[in-house]
């Protein structure tokens, strides 16, 4: 899903696994799975469709 959006819009993204121990350095983590756009968590603890993700990106003005 992310690769489809990246091909369409040339986005910068990071995939973080819950098991990455380097994350323990962060103060707070959203409930997984989660999607953060420009520092704001827009989805957490739920599956997200491509359409939902694209709409969230557009509403944040990230495109």
pLDDT, residue 3, reads 76
Angstrom distance (rounded) from CA 40 to CA 43 = 9
Domain segments of the chain as ranges: 2-59
Percent of the chain whose predicted confidence (pLDDT) is above 90 = 2
Has this prediction a pTM greater than 0.75?
no
The more confidently predicted of residues 40 and 27 is 40
The pLDDT-based confidence of 61 (bands split at 50, 70, 90) is confident
- Spatial contact of 45 and 31, defined as CB atoms under 8 Å apart: yes
Burial level of 3, CB count in 10 A (0-12/13-18/19+)?
Answer: exposed
């Amino acid at each position: 899903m992310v690769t489809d959006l990246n091909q369409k819009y040339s986005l910068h993204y990071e995939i973080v696994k819950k098991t990455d121990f380097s994350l323990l350095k962060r103060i707070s983590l959203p409930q997984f799975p989660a999607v953060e756009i420009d520092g704001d968590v827009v989805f957490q603890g739920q599956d997200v469709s491509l359409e939902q993700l694209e709409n969230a990106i557009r509403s944040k003005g990230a495109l």
